[in-house]
Structure 1
Amino acid sequence: MSGDARRWALRGAHTEYAVTVPAHGRWLELVAWGPHGVADGPSPVAYDGPVPFLTAGDAAPVEYATDADRPFTGADLVVETATGHRRVGFGFTGAAHDPAAGTLAVTFDDPVTGLRAVLRYAVPAGADVVRRWVELTNTGAAPLRLVRAGSAGFCVPTPHGALLSHQWGQWAQEFQLDHVDLGHGAFTIGSSQGVPGHLHVPWLAVRDRAEPDGSVWSVAVAWTGSWEITAERDTGGLTRVRAGRRLPDGPLELPPGGDLTLPEVVGAYSPDGLDGLARVWHRYQRLLAGDRLTPRPVLYNSWEATYFAVDAKSQLELARIAADLGVETFVVDDGWFVGRDDDTAGLGDWTPDPAGFPDGFEAFVAEIRALGLRFGLWVEPECVNPRSRLYAEHPDWVYQVDGRPLTPIRNQYLLDLGRPDVAEFVHSTLDGLLRRYDIAYLKWDFNRPRTEPGRVGADGPRDLDGAHVTNLHRIYERLRRDHPHVLVESCAGGGARTDLAMAARADIFWPSDNTGPLDRLAIQYGFLHANAPHLLSSWVTDAPGLFDPRPRSLAFRFVLAMAGVLGVGADIRRWTPEQRAEAAGWIARYKDVREVITHGDVHLVGGPDQPRCAVQYTSPDRRRVVVLAWHTGRSDGPGLLPSRPVRLPLRGLDPDAGYRHGERRYSGSHLTAVGLPVTWTPDHDAELIVLDRE
C-alpha cells in the first residue's frame, strides 16, 4: 500500500484493487485492478491530459461519478432537487480502511444539497472479487430525487479494443454465451421486468481484444429486480462499466433525513480468460453458500410425467420407481392444490386438493417418506389467478393502475409483495406449509414479470421494484433461518431469477424449462461461466430439443444432468426395465463423483458449437479428476474410415504425476499437452470419466 493517506489497496487471494482520491478531492478513482502488485507502477487507467469538449472526469477512471463529474460520458448517480436542478458535486470528507478485514469506506458530501455518499468496498477472504455498494443519506432540508441510481463504475484498460462477453436468451433458450467486439461506443444490457429476466444475465466480462485468453474483468449485479449494465469504451482505450439498478417506476425519493442503500455489484478478475473467470465466480458463490454447500440430493420432479393431473396414486407410483432408481428427493410439482386443474385457477389458494389426496396430504407425505425419500413441493407464492379465493377476497393485493385494466400473463396476476400484508401472507403461507408437512425441498417458481406500475390507493411515487425485492429477500432469509434443513430452488419460468443476491439466499437455480439434450448443453455451458455447479439443477427427461432436435441417448442426458445437481423429470413409468437399470447405474455413478462436482475446480473444454465439448472437475486435494464429455456434432466414420479420437486437453494437472482410469494410465503431461481421448459412435455419445492420481 502506498504511503499516500488518500490511496488504499484491497487484496484478495490473488488480486489487488487500488483506489485514490486525487488532490482536488471531487471523486475516488481507480489506480489499478489485477494480480497482486499490479498497482506498483504507473496506473494503466490514469489520464490527466487535455480533454477537448469534455471535462476531466469524463476521461478519468472515476469509481462513482455524479453528473457533475461525468456530464458527457455517463454518470452513475443523477440527483434532482425539488426545484428541478441537477449536478450534485461531491467533496471527499473521510475514509475508513481495515486491511485485515478487506474493507474500505470512503465518504463524500455535497455542501449544496446535503447529500452524503459512502462508497463501500469489501473483498471476501479467499476470493478474487470486490464487492461494492453505496449508502446515500440526505442530510439537507429539502427532498431529493434520484433520477439514476447506479451502484458503481468499473474501469478496465482496453488499449486495443474491448471484447465483451455476455449472455442473452429467451424462455427455453437462456444463458446463450455471446461476444461483442466494441471498438468505440456503448453496449447495454438489462431488465425492466422486476426480475433479472430471460433476455440477459446480470453479468458481463471485458477483455482486451489483443489478449482474449489473458486478463479478464467481470461485473455482476446482486439484485433480484430490474437492473442495467453499460460498457462504454472511450477514444483513449478505457472501457468503463456502469452497473446497478434500472428504475422502471421512475426516480427514487430521498426525503430529508432519509437514507438508501443501493444494491451490491461485484467485480471479478482472472488472468486466465473466461475459463479462469468462471472459477473465480464459482469460488465466490461457494463462499456465499457457506455451511449449506453440501452435495445436493438426487431428485425426481413429477411435472413432465403428470403435469396438472396430480393425485396420490400417480405420485406414489412414480415415487416407488424413483426410489428404486436411487433417487433421494421426490418433488411434487404444480397441480397439488385446490382448483388447480390447469393454469387458469388455483394460484393463491395453497391448500392440498382433498380430491387428489383423499387420505389427507399428511398421509401422502408420510408414504413418500416411508420409501426412504425426502419430500419436496412446488409453489408460486407471488402470483394469483383471477379464479381463486385469494383474489376474490383481496383484489387490491395485485399490482394495478387505478382505472386501467389488468394485464394477465399465463392467466395470472402478480401480488404486490412490497405491501406488508401481502409479504406477511406469503411468508406465513410458506412457513405454515413447512411446519405442517415434512418438506425438505421447496421449488419456488415465478412465471410472469410485473406489468402494472401501480398500487391501489397510492398517493405518490413508490419504489415498487425495490420494495418487492427487499421483501422477497427477507422472506427467503426468514425461511432459511427457521427451516435450515429445507433446500430452496429459485425458478422463474426457467432461468429468469438468477443473480448473486439469489445465489446468497437460494440453494439451487433452475436454469431453463428446456430439457432437450443439445439445447440444454448450450444453456448449461453459458450458465457455468457465471454460476457454480452446486447451483445448477438439471433433469433427465425424454423431451426433444426446441432449437436443436437431433436425438441423443439416455446416457447423454444423464451425463449432461450430472454437470450440476442431478435430477430426473421423465415419465419413468414408461421406461423399459433396461432403461431403468441404466438410469440406476448412472445415478450410482453420480453419487460417487458429486462431492468433486460440488467442490472441485471447473475447467470448460471446448463448447457446444465445437467438435470437443467437456467439463473437467478437479477435487480440492488434486487427487481426483472427473470429466463429463458429450458428442456435439456429426460422426466421422469411426471404424470405417480413417479417423482419430477426439482429444480433450485437461488443465491444472501435475505433469509428472500419473492418472489412472480403470486399466488405462496417463501422465499429467499427456493429458495436458495431447488430451484425454474419447471416441464417439452412433451408440456412444457421452461419457463420464474418472481419473485418480497415483
Structure 2
Amino acid sequence: MSRCKMIALSSAGILASVVTSPAAGEVRYDPASRVFRLTGGDTEYDIAIDEQGYLRPAYWGKALDAATPITLPLLPAPPVIGAMDPPSSVTAQEYAGQGGGIVTEPGIKVAFADGNRDLVLKYRSHRIAGETLTIELADISRPFTVTLRYTVDPATGIVGRSATARNDGKAPVRIDQIAAATLTLPYRPGYRLSYLAGRQLAEFGFAQQDVGPALAVLESRRGGTSNHMSPWFAIDQKGVSDEEHGPVWFGTLGWSGSWRISVGTDLIGRVRIAGGYNPYDFSWQLRPGETLETPIFYVGYSDDGMGGASRLQHRFQIAGILPGNGRPKVRPVLYNSWEATEFAIDEAGQIALAEKAARIGVERFVMDDGWFGKRDSDRAGLGDWTPSRTKFPNGLGPLIDRVHKLGMEFGLWVEPEMVNPDSDLYRAHPDWVINFTGRPRTESRNQLTLNLARADVRDHVLKVLDELLTTNDIQYLKWDYNRSFSEPGWPEQPVADQQRLYVDYTRNLYHILAELKKRHPRVEIESCSSGGGRVDLGILRYTNQVWTSDNTDAFDRLTIQDGFTHAFTPAIMMAWTTDVPNWATGRTVDLSYRFLSAMQGGLGVGNNLNKWGAADFDVATRMIADYKTIRETVQTGALYRLARPGDGGPTVDTLYVADDKRQAILFHMLQNYQARDDVPAIRLRGLDPDRRYTVRLAGGGKLPDGIPASALGSRWMSQGVTIPLRGDFKGAALIFE
C-alpha cells in the first residue's frame, strides 16, 4: 500500500520580493513553488500546480503571512484508500474533467463525436492582469481547453470564479455538465451546511444540516432562479462557529436561469462543492471553434461567523454588483396601487391614490397590473403593452404629469416575458412561446412563457419596452415573472441545439435589461417573480431592487428578511406595509408594527389609502419622515442580527450601523408577551466606543424609563438597552446618533 507524500511548497520566490503580509487585492504567482496566491481583505485563496501538471486547491481561509509556506498533498493517495478507489478518485483537483477515474462531481463532463467521454485536464498556461487571474487547462491529448477565470475583490477577498470551455477540434463536442467552479475544504469535524429554501409566500427560509457523504443538492430546474431555493450556500463548523465568531465559507451564483450547487464529503472527509448550470435537461453541442462560458460563482470566507459573512457579502454587492458604480441610489419610499385597486384601474382613481400617497411623504408612485390592453383580469392582455383606451383615453400622460407635479416619480408594472393566449400578440405569433410541437401548452396563471432565446422575440420585447419608456416619462419598472418553464422546447432549432434554451433565454434577458439601461439610464428596474423568485447576483447587475415576497405579513416578513440578508444586502430588499387582515395569513397587527417591520429594508406602502383614517395618515407620515433619516444606514450600513426569529426567544432584534459609525438603528420586535417582565438588556455592536450617542424613538414618543438620553458607545455595547414592551406583535425602533 502506498504512502501519502507531503511537499512544502516553497515560498522562496515570494520572500525574494515581499517581506511583509501581502497588500489587499493581489494575485501573485511563485514559479519556484508553482503556487498562485489570491489575497483581499482578510482572506486568501491559493492554488498550486502539482508535479504531474494537475491544478490543485491549496488553501482557502484567513489571510496568511506572505512567508508562510503552502503545503499540498501529492499523489499517490493516502493509505486508507484501497484498490476500489484509485488515486485519481480522491485527489482533489481545482477543476477536473470527467475522466481519469474520478467519481466526485466534475467541473465539466463532455462526449466527443467518436464516443470518447474521458476528459483529463492539466495546466497549460496562465496570465495575471491586476486582480484577475486566468488559467488555461487542456486535455492530455484532445484539442479541448477550459479557461478558468478568477477575480479577487480587494476589500472583501471575495473571489469570482468562472470557466470557459473551447472546442479546438474539427468535430462537435457535447457538453453534458459544466460548473463555474469546484471547491474543496480540507477535512475537519463538524462541517455544517446553511442554505435558503422555501416556496412562494415563504421564501428565504434559513436552514442547516450536517455535511456528509450523502450529496446535498441545492438547485432550480425551473428555468429561473426560483422561490423554492436561493443560489447561495454557507459552511461553518458546529461548536466552533456562531453568529459573530468562527470560520464560515460561503458562495453565491450569479445566474438567473436553472442552476445547481452540490455539497458533500469525499471518501476521506474533505468537503467538495460544485456550482454552475444545472445539468438537468442540459445539453450543449460545442461546435468547432466555439466557446461556452459559465456564470460567475462568487465565493468568500469570514472568520467572524455568519454575521461577518453577511456583512462581507453586503459590502461586496453594494461596491461591485449593483448598478451605481459602488454608490447605489438609496431606495425611495414607494407606493404601489395593487391592493387598493387590483385590475379596477382608471385615471381618476390612480390620481386620487397618488394625492394621498404624496401627503404621507411617498417619493415614487407605481401603478400595478391592469393598465394595458384588455387587462381586466389575469386571463387576457399580457403581451399587449399599450395603455388601455377605455381606462386611459388620453394615454398615460395626464396621470404621469399629475404624479410628477405632486413631487413623485412614476412607475409601472410590467411582465414582458409572458403572454396570455387571449392577446393580440399571441394571436399573431403563437409560435413565439416555449413549446414542444404537438404537445400541450400548459398554462399557469392563464399565461405562457415567451421564448426569449429566439432573437426575434428578444428584439420584439426590447422594442415595445423601449417605445413605452420613450413615449412616457417613466422612472421605474416593476418587472414581474410569474411562472416557471414547462414543455421547454425550441422547435425552430436543430435537435442538437434545442436545449440551449436554458442558457440563451437568460442571456437574452440580460441583453434586454442592459440595453434598456443604456437607452434609459435614469429608469430603475425592480426584479419580481411571484415574490422573491428571481433574486441572484446575475439579475442584480441590471436591476436596482428586488421584491422579497408576495407575503407582506409584517410578522412573517421578519423571518423572510432574516434569511434574505444572510445572502443579500438590505440595499435591494423591498418591504411593504399592507392592509390587515393580511391577505396571505389572515393576521392583524397594528400599523406601527407593520411600518417597523418594513423599515428594515427599502420601505414601500401598499395599503388601500382610500380606507385610511386620520390616525393612519398620522402614523404613516411620522414613520416615513423618520425612515428618511435612517434609510441610508439601514440599506447600506453594517447589519447585526442580535436576536433572530429562529433563536427561540420572544423578540427579533436587528441592528444597523452606519459605515462611519455616526448612526445606528435598533429594531426591537416582540412576538408575544407571555409574562416577559424580566426583559434582558440588548447589547449593541459595532459602535464607536469613544463617541457619545443620543437616542430617540422612531415615530416619536417618550423613551422608556431607564434608557438614558445619551451615552458613550462603550456603554451601549457593554450594558445594553432594555426596552419593555407588552402585548403581542409590538415593536420599537431606537435611533442612535
CA–CA separation in structure 2 for the residues paired with 1:608 and 1:45: 42
Which moved further from structure 2: 399-408 or 454-463?
454-463
For residue 652 of structure 1, what is the aligned residue in structure 2?
686
Letter of the aligned partner of 1:253 in structure 2?
Q
Cα offset, 1:384, TM superposition: 0.1
Match of 1:308 among 300, 323, 343: 343
Q: CA RMSD in A?
A: 1.9
Change in 2 beyond 3 A, CA 1:652/1:543: same
Q: Match for 2:94 among 58, 63, 76?
A: 63
Report SS of the residue matched to 1:676: coil
1:204-603 equivalences in 2 (<5 Å):
204-213=233-242, 214-287=246-319, 288-289=321-322, 290-291=324-325, 293-461=328-496, 462=498, 463-544=500-581, 550-603=587-640
Aligned residue for 1:32? 59
- Do 2:96 and 2:121's aligned partners in 1 also have CA atoms closer than 8 Å? no
Output the CA distance in 2 between the equivalents of 1:58 and 1:617.
47
Q: What is the Cα deviation at residue 77 of structure 1?
A: 0.8
| Cross-structure match for 2:221 | 192
Distance 1:168 1:344, change over 3 A: same
1:165 equivalent to 2:194? Answer yes
SS in 2 for 1:175: strand
Distance in 2, Cα, partners of 1:143 & 1:161: 45
C-alpha displacement at 1:333, in angstroms? 0.4
CA contact (8 A) 2:432 2:450 kept: yes
Identify which range, 329-338 or 451-460, moves more after superposition. Answer: 451-460
- Report if the CA contact (8 A) 2:580-2:589 is conserved: no
Change (3 A) 1:684 1:82: closer
Partner-residue secondary structure (3-state), 2:128: strand
**Match of 2:673?**
635
8 Å CA contact 1:116, 1:138 repeated in 2: yes
1:544 Cα deviation (Å)?
Answer: 4.2
- Aligned AA (1:688): A
- 1:678 aligned counterpart, secondary structure: coil
Q: Cα distance, 1:673 vs. partner?
A: 3.4
Tell me if the contact between 2:96 and 2:120 (Cα under 8 Å) persists in the aligned partners.
Answer: no
Conserved 8 A contact 1:163-1:206: yes
Instruction: Classify 1:91/1:156 alpha carbon distance in 2 versus 1 (closer, same or farther; 3 Å).
Output: closer
Letter in structure 1 aligned against 2:375 = R
Q: Which amino acid aligns with 2:612?
A: W
Give the aligned partner of residue 27 of structure 2.
Answer: none
CA–CA separation in structure 1 for the residues paired with 2:66 and 2:223 = 39
Query: Counterparts of 1:70 and 1:180 in 2: how far apart (Å)?
Result: 30
Give the C-alpha shift of residue 447 in structure 1. Answer: 0.3
CA contact (8 A) 2:201 2:584 kept: no
1:81 equivalent to 2:133? Answer no
> Quick one: structure 1 residues 38 and 612, their matched pair in 2 at CA, closer, same or farther if it must change by over 3 Å?
farther
Could you list the per-position Cα deviations for residues 328-363 of structure 1 after superposition, in whole angstroms to 9, with x for gaps in the alignment? 000000000011010000000011011111333212
Q: Deviations over 1:302-335 (max 9, x none)?
A: 0111111111111111110000010000000000
Please give the alpha-carbon distance, in whole angstroms, between the structure 1 residues aligned to 2:455 and 2:557.
39
Report the number of matched residues: 684
Could you say which residue in structure 1 is the equivalent of 2:709? 664
Contact 2:46 2:60 (8 Å CA) reproduced: yes
**Kept after mapping to 2: 8 A contact 1:16/1:38:** no
Check 1:40–1:84 CA distance in 2 against 1; reply closer, same or farther (3 A cut).
farther
| In 1: Cα distance, 2:584 partner to 2:678 partner | 29
- 1:670-681 equivalences in 2 (<5 Å): 670-681=715-726
User: Which whole-Å CA distance do the structure 2 matches of 1:371 and 1:493 have between them?
Assistant: 30
Q: CA deviation at 1:151?
A: 1.3
Which stretch of structure 1 is more off in the superposition, 647-656 or 314-323? 647-656
2:163 corresponds to:
134
- Name 1:685's counterpart in structure 2: 730
How far apart are residue 503 of structure 1 and its match?
Answer: 1.5
1:616 and 2:650 matched? no
Note the residue ranges of structure 2 that are not aligned, 5 or more in a row. Answer: 1-10, 14-29, 697-707
Residue 235 of structure 1: CA displacement?
Answer: 4.3
Distance 2:600 2:86 in 1: 50
1:360-381 CA-to-partner distances (Å, cap 9, x unmatched) read 3212211221211110000000
Contact 1:519-1:546 at 8 Å conserved across structures: no
Of 34-43 and 343-352, more deviation after overlay is shown by: 34-43
Kept in 2: contact 1:218–1:269 (CA 8 A): yes
CA distance in 2, matches of 1:39, 1:192: 43
CA distance in 2 between counterparts of 1:256 and 1:240 reads 32
> How big is the shift at 1:647?
2.8
| Contact kept? 1:156, 1:217, Cα under 8 Å | no
Shift of residue 623 of structure 1?
A: 1.4
